Chain A
Amino acid sequence: NAGVTQTPKFRVLKTGQSMTLLCAQDMNHEYMYWYRQDPGMGLRLIHYSVGEGTTAKGEVPDGYNVSRLKKQNFLLGLESAAPSQTSVYFCASSQREKLFFGSGTQLSVL
């Protein structure tokens, strides 16, 4: 049972580089989310989606873009990475109030 799968698990970028984080869920959930986790700050919502073809801003959306072209996938993009985007990124999905999380992506921007 895969659940929520994130790729890659680790990545190092140089300032100004771009990259895309991929999230895939096999539970047919309508809702998907991207969070970031920083030391001492808990998890904060970046963007979320309420269904295929829809996206919405969360608490900290600046510097990120997302797309949900297929129901099972939710992509998080960084167009021009900055050191402030060094963080652990979590994807999650839900059908109701219970969220299922991926195992996270450790991103370092040098």
Chain B
Amino acid sequence: AQTVTQSQPEMSVQEAETVTLSCTYDTSENNYYLFWYKQPPSRQMILVIRQEAYKQQNATENRFSVNFQKAAKSFSLKISDSQLGDTAMYFCAFSLPTGTASKLTFGTGTRLQVTL
């Protein structure tokens, strides 16, 4: 079974600064997907970024980027130029390749507060 660990329950960053959220996972599989989801106070689950394990290049989406270290089973999220709208819970998640249902395994989340 796969596990996902987020060791930072809460973090705070000032507006315009950079923050990195940590995530580690455990799996015996070689091919899989990793995700970061954002959950603002509205409760909506929003996909921030996605990484395919067989791709060595780190995924980026505008101000969001990941540092994917496959050997270390680490998948951190970097948010650059933080904005007040980035305040939310952030969940790291894992799934095996499609071909069947994409059953996500989630971490426990990191609550990020962006301050003025």
Contact = CB atoms under 8 A, between A and B. Distances in A.
B22 interface: no
Contacts, number: 56
A98 B43 contact: no
B30 interface: no
Q: How many B residues are at the interface, by size bracket? A: 20 to 34
B106 interface: yes
Given A42-B91, A97-B95, A98-B47, A33 B106 contact: no
A60 interface: no
B109 to A, nearest CB: 6
Binding site secondary structure of chain A: strand
A103 B41 CA distance: 11
A48 B95 CA distance: 14
A81 B68 CA distance: 42
Given A94-B102, A96-B102, A97-B98, A41 B108 contact: yes
B56 interface: no
B21 to A, nearest CB: 14
A104 B108 contact: no
Interface of B: 4, 9, 33, 42-45, 47, 50, 91, 95, 97-98, 100-109
Given A43-B45, A97-B98, A103-B44, 13 more contacts: A31-B101, A35-B104, A41-B108, A42-B107, A50-B100, A90-B45, A97-B50, A97-B95, A98-B102, A99-B45, A99-B47, A99-B102, A101-B44
